[in-house]
Amino acid sequence: MRKGWPPSSRTGHRSSVGSRARCQHCFHTPLFSSFSLAFRSIPDMNANLFALFESRFPADRTACCIETHDGLYYSWDDLDRATAKLANLLASLHLPEGARVAVQVEKSPEALFLYLATLRAGYVYLPLNTAYQEAEIDYFVGNAEPSVVVCSSKNFGWVSKVAFRHGVNHVFTLDDDRSGSLLSRAAGKPDAFETVARQDDDLAAILYTSGTTGRSKGAMLTHRNLASNAQTLHEFWGWRSDDVLLHMLPIFHVHGLFVASHGALLAGAKMIWAPRLDMAQVLKFLPRCTVMMGVPTYYVRMLQEPRFDDDTCRRMRLFVSGSAPLLLETFDAFRERTGHTILERYGMSETVMLVSNPYDAALGERIGGTVGMPLPGVSVRVVDGEGQPCTPGEIGNVEVKGPNVFKGYWRMPEKTREEFTEDGWFKTGDVGRFGGAIASQAGERAVPDNYLTIVGRSKDLIISGGYNVYPKEIESFIDEMPGVAESAVIGVPHADFGEAVVAVVVRKPGADIDEAALIGTLKGRIANFKVPKRVHVVDELPRNTMGKVQKNVLREQFAVL
C-alpha cells in the first residue's frame, strides 16, 4: 500500500448510558460520567480540540488512521507529523491572534490535516463549500477577513484576485492528488509542534449557513462546542477503537468534518476515505467497515444496487443518517434488506448534534420518521408562538440549550440577540413536536413523549386562510401513496387565502400519478385547508450539496398557481 503525505522513508507500517429526565417544559438527558467530565475537570489542561484528539491517539502510532479509496495509507504518526508541518507553516506566517484560515478545496486526507493543523496552531478554520462561485467567495472572504486562503489550483486565478482585493496576504493551493503550494511550502518545516493552548470559549471554526433566506451568517463554534459534542457522541453511539468508518461525506460541512471525522479521531479508530458516494467503492469497502454516515440519498442509492445485501454489511454495527429527512419507506426498506436499523439524528451548523435515536437498545428503539431523544447534556423544548410550552403531540418551535450551542453569528450581534431567548435558549428555526404519532402505510404509530419529530422549517410554514399548515405533515401522507418516490409541499401566493398549498411530487420509475386522484385521497385523510390546491409531478427535487430540498427554488418555479 502506498504511503500518503508527508513524505517518509520509514517502512513497515501496518493497517490496522445515561437516563432520561424531564425538566420543566423541555426534555434533556444528563451527561454521561465519562472521559468528557474527567477531561474538563483539570483546570490547567489545554482546551484546544486537537489536544483532546491527540490524547486519544492509539499507543501504536504506526497503525492505520486513514486508508484512501485509491490505496494510500496514513498512519497516526503520519497525521501527527503532517499536522505539525502544516501548523509550523501557519505559525511562520506570523498571523494575528484569532486569524481565520479559509479553505475551499476538494476532499483529501491532506485537507483534513489542514483543518487539524489550523486548530493545533490556535487559529480558526473556515470551510467553504466547493460549489461556491466567485460572488459567494467574495462575500465570505470580505465578511470573515481571513488571513490565509487555500483553494484548488484550478481556481487559483479568480480566488487569488478575490483574496488580494480583500487584503489577504497568503493564498495557497491544495489539490486532492497531494500537490499544490501549501504542501510544497510545508514539506520543509519541522515535523514536531507543540499544540497551542486554547481556552474553552476560544473560536475553533466558523461555518456559514446556506443563506436561503438572505445573506449567509457565520456561526462561531468554540473548542468547547466541538469537544463536548464529540465526547457525547463518542459515548452515545458506542464508538470503539476497533471501529472502521466508511467516510464518503464532504468535509466542508458539520456532518463530514465534525460528526464523522471527530468520531473516528476521538475513538482512535480507522477511516476508509472516499471522495464521494460510489457504489463500487461501497461494495468494496463496506464489508471491512463497522460504521457509516450518510445523507438519505446515500441509502436510497444503496438500495437501488442489487448486489447490496446483508452480506455486504456483515461487520457493520451502525448506519447513521442526517442532514436531511429520511423517508420512512427508505428506513423500512433498508432494515428489510440488511437487517440493520438506520439511526437518524438531528443537528445544525450552529449546534452540531442535538438529538439522536439511541444506539443502545436499553435507552429505547430507533423509530423511523423521528430524530430521537435529546443527547446527554442537551436540553430541547418545543414552544408556541408566545413562548409557552407545547404539550406532547402539539407542534411548535424547537429551541435548544447546551454546551454545544454556538457562541453567536460572526460580526452580527443584533442577529445573535434575535436568535436567542431572554432565558438563553437558541431558536433553531425548526418546527417540531415531542411525542404524537407517525403516519405509515400500516397506520399511525405512537411516538414516546421524549422523542422529537421535525415537521419543517419555520420559514416553510404556510399560512392559508389564517390556518397554519406544516409541510412535513402533508409530505408524510403523500410519501406513503402508491407511485410516489418523494414530495415537497410549499406555499405560493393566493389572492383569497394569502398562501395556497402546492405539492411537488417525484414519481417512482414507471408509475403514473394522477393529480385529481392524489388530491381526492388526501381530502379523505387530512383537513381540507391542508389539501394541496395543485400537484406538480417532476423528475427530481432540487437539492443542495448535503441533500436538502431547496424549497426556495420550488417556490420560485411554481409561484403561479
Q: HEC string of 156-204?
A: HHHHHHHHHHCCCCEEEECCCCCCCHHHHHHHCCCCCCCCCCCCCCCEE
Residue 12 clears pLDDT 70, i.e. is over it? no
Residue 408 clears pLDDT 90, i.e. is over it? yes
Which pLDDT value is given to residue 352?
97
Predicted confidence (pLDDT) per residue in 251-264, tens digit: 999 999 999 999 99
Predicted confidence band of residue 236 (pLDDT cuts 50, 70, 90): very high
* Residue 520 forms part of a structural domain: yes
Q: What is the CATH number of the domain that holds 491?
A: 3.30.300.30
Higher pLDDT, 119 or 24: 119
Q: How far apart are CA 135 and CA 142, in angstroms?
A: 11
* Residue 542 forms part of a structural domain: yes
Weakest-pLDDT range from 9-18, 72-81, 375-384, 500-509: 9-18
**Amino acid at position 349, single letter:** S
Which pLDDT value is given to residue 293?
96
Which pLDDT value is given to residue 29?
52
Q: What is the dihedral of CA 73, 79, 83, 85, to 10 degrees?
A: -70
Q: What is the average pLDDT across 84-94?
A: 98
Q: Which domain holds residue 482?
A: 461-557
The helix/strand/coil state of 476 is: helix
DSSP state of 531: S
* Residue 533 forms part of a structural domain: yes
Q: How far apart are CA 493 and CA 476, in angstroms?
A: 23
* Residue 487 forms part of a structural domain: yes
Which pLDDT value is given to residue 209?
84
Q: How many other C-beta atoms lie within 10 A of the C-beta of residue 417? A: 11
Predicted confidence band of residue 1 (pLDDT cuts 50, 70, 90): low
Higher pLDDT, 230 or 297: 230
Q: How many other C-beta atoms lie within 10 A of the C-beta of residue 325? A: 25
Q: What is the average pLDDT across 448-475?
A: 85
Which pLDDT value is given to residue 10?
42
Backbone φ and ψ of 503, nearest 5°: -110, 135
User: Mean pLDDT, the chain, as a whole number?
Assistant: 90
Residues paired with residue 409 on neighbouring β-strands, in sequence order = 219
* Residue 105 forms part of a structural domain: no
Instruction: Name every residue whose Cβ is closer than 8 Å to that of residue 361 and which is 6 or more positions away in sequence.
Output: none
Backbone φ and ψ of 506, nearest 5°: -100, 125
Q: How many other C-beta atoms lie within 10 A of the C-beta of residue 114? A: 29
Weakest-pLDDT range from 17-31, 50-64, 495-509, 531-545: 17-31
Q: Please, what is the angle between helix 515-523 and helix 471-479, to 10°?
A: 110
* Residue 115 forms part of a structural domain: no
Question: C-alpha cell of 241?
Answer: 477503537
* Residue 235 forms part of a structural domain: no
* Residue 393 forms part of a structural domain: no
Residue 433 clears pLDDT 70, i.e. is over it? yes
Predicted confidence (pLDDT) per residue in 143-188, tens digit: 999 999 999 999 999 999 999 999 999 999 999 999 999 999 999 9
What's the domain count of the chain? Answer: 1
Question: C-alpha cell of 188?
Answer: 520543509
Instruction: Name every residue whose Cβ is closer than 8 Å to that of residue 12 and which is 6 or more positions away in sequence.
Output: 62
The helix/strand/coil state of 248 is: coil
